[in-house]
Amino acid sequence: MQPLKIILFFISLLTFVSCNNNPVGADYTDTPTSGKVNISVDESYALLFDTQIYTFESLYPNAKVNAKFKPEQQAINDLLKDSSKVAVLNRELTKKELATFKAANIYPVTTKIAEDAVAFVVNNNNLDTALSLKQIKEFLTGKDTTWPQNKSQRINIVFDNPNSANYRYLKELVNNIQFGNNTFAVKSNPEVINYVSSHENSLGVISVNWISDRDDTLSQAFLKKVKVVGLTNEEFPNELTKFRKPHQAYIANKLYPLCRSVYMINRQTRAGLGTGFVSFVAGEKGQRMMKLAGLVPATMQVRLIQITNKPLN
């Protein structure tokens, strides 16, 4: 074989191999660790995913994850419209949403990444820091609108957003009964915390990751502004009842009543940057960050330590 023909043969061979490594076409410019990808993240997890994205991009300098932090329903709409390849939510897709993807011959992959919780916060001057789930439901539906320890003071319940995951989660908790006229929404979790810190009669609803990271200065600053409410499932609590705050251990063993899972939903049909980022968050480094942020990682055990006051012999 002549030298020129040998060169042309190897060029053809390399082209053939390259095409077979990317069977869906050569127009894609991203890989699992490079390129650009748009993702939509439930605003509840903005603080958490700022850290995840920063670390991922530090490890892979050629990767750019463009995150849009939005209310839950808007994040889902982005995924359906293909303006985002990945969505971070605390629920799985509904049958109707899955049918929409199936009609387009797209089969999204859902990956559980953590266990989270809904937290209630009150003003630092409020004495009511222990409530039953029954009381929470009565507050939400307007059946009871006054504080247990101060019957002259009306409870105002403030949410982050009427389209948020927190709002939808608690709506489902009361079987979709209409909320009372003592409930209203602002625009974000930080706004909830700021409102509660300046209004003594308010009860705020937030995602626990905004106040659970002991190493994050913003999280700790928020925690100083408000007090976290302890909850119990017991319908008729007494002085012996254990009220649990949304600490990591109580989320892990489900002793805190309002726990929920966090998912990443990926609509990419190939090994692109969206797939690579999901793998990172679900992998060892990403899961370790979940643990440090105070959430319960999906694939990493949380160590539970029981402390007793029993004297040593």
Domain that includes residue 275, residue range: 25-115+261-297
Tell me: do 235 and 181 sit in the same domain.
yes
User: Does an H or E element contain 222, and which?
Assistant: helix 217-225
Q: What's the whole-model pTM score?
A: 0.84
The answer on 135 and 222 residing in a single domain is: yes
CATH number at residue 50: 3.40.190.10
- The answer as to whether 305 is a domain residue is no
Please name the residues in contact with 198: beta carbons below 8 A apart, sequence gap of 6 or more: 123
End-to-end, the C-alpha distance of the chain in Å comes to 89
Residues 105 and 149 in one domain: no
pLDDT per position in the chain (313 positions), as tens? 454 443 333 334 333 333 333 444 446 789 999 999 999 999 999 999 999 999 999 999 999 999 999 999 999 999 999 999 999 999 999 999 999 999 999 999 999 999 999 999 999 999 999 999 999 999 999 999 999 988 889 999 999 999 999 999 999 999 999 999 999 999 999 999 999 999 999 999 999 999 998 888 889 999 999 999 999 998 878 777 899 999 999 999 999 999 999 999 999 978 999 999 999 999 999 999 999 999 999 986 555 444 444 544 4
Task: Identify whether residues 146 and 74 lie together within a single domain.
Answer: no
Does 254 lie in the same domain as 123? yes
Q: How many domains does the chain contain in total?
A: 2
125 and 254 in a single domain? The answer is yes
Q: Which of 275, 276, 260 shows the shortest CA–CA distance to 108?
A: 275
Residues 162 and 204 in one domain: yes
Please indicate, yes or no, if residue 110 is contained in any of the structural domains. Answer: yes
Clarify whether residues 90 and 178 are in a common domain.
Answer: no
Q: Alpha-carbon distance 307 to 86, whole Å?
A: 41
